[in-house]
Amino acid sequence: VAAMKAEGIEYDERIELLDDITYPRPLDELLAHCFEVYCRTNPWAADGHPAPKSVVREMWEHGLTFKEFVSLYGLTRTEGAVLRYLSDAFKALRSGVPAAARTEELTDIVEWLGELVRQVDSSLLDEWEQLTSDDQPTDVPVMVPVRPLTGNERAFTAMVRNALFRRVELLARRRWDELGALDAASGWTAQRWEALGQEYFAEHDEIGTGADARGPAMLIFDRAPGVWRVRQILDDPARDRDWGIDVEVDLAASDEEGAPVIRVVDAGMLG
């Protein structure tokens, strides 16, 4: 609205233009077509309407935790609805995707999403797992202890990877203040990140943020007891791969926080 006002667009026209603004709907046309075809042989489903959203996709691609996503969009008063949506998305992915379509990346996403929901409110998943498990007696309530975050290593690894890639994206977009907000406690203030960024961009024009940049080849893990040491390699256009971010992940603190607790140790060019 502010941008349209600045451009001198009249009120009535602004209202009309606002009607065309909506949230991201990935694969909207494809899903609508597939649903139409499906309804031809399953007319009972016609009462439903596909409503694609980009919530899980955005959280995964930008490495957002539940708290960060709620804060980003000011959803404090409706965070219960967000959590229920994420829980439903996890159940759909876990039980609705055919085995032939399951890839390693999809498995990582399912594990990450399930653990994210569990750390916020384990009762949502515990109740569902009891209902869908053939081994659970129906007449005896089962109390499932809350599993520590690091107890699911695959999901925790995905969370750490996402958290590091978020820093890569912010560095690529030169968002020094947001980087400082993440890492000031470990001594990496906005000013320090900016100095590093200026040094990097004096040598390279950009930092890659595509599929290769977030792949496993760009990460080096040292999983020691109690603390993980990880290096996130930056995808520079020259493919020298000599710039990166070194962090330590405190496992005990991560279990207590319910999210990876990361301390930046160093960042810059390898010696």
Domain contains 139? no
Domain of 260 in residue numbering reads as 167-269
Domain contains 142? no
127 confidence band (pLDDT: 50, 70, 90): low
Residues 123 and 187 in one domain: no
Residues 171 and 127 in one domain: no
Instruction: Give the number of other CB atoms < 10 A from CB of residue 59.
Output: 22
CB 232 within 8 A of CB 250: no
**Residue-wise pLDDT tens digits, 196-224:** 999 999 999 999 999 889 888 999 999 99
pLDDT of residue 19: 84
Into how many domains does the chain fold? 2
Domain contains 61? yes
Closest CA to 144 of 127, 120, 168, 159: 127
**Residue-wise pLDDT tens digits, 35-93:** 999 999 999 998 888 889 899 999 998 888 899 999 999 998 888 899 999 999 999 99
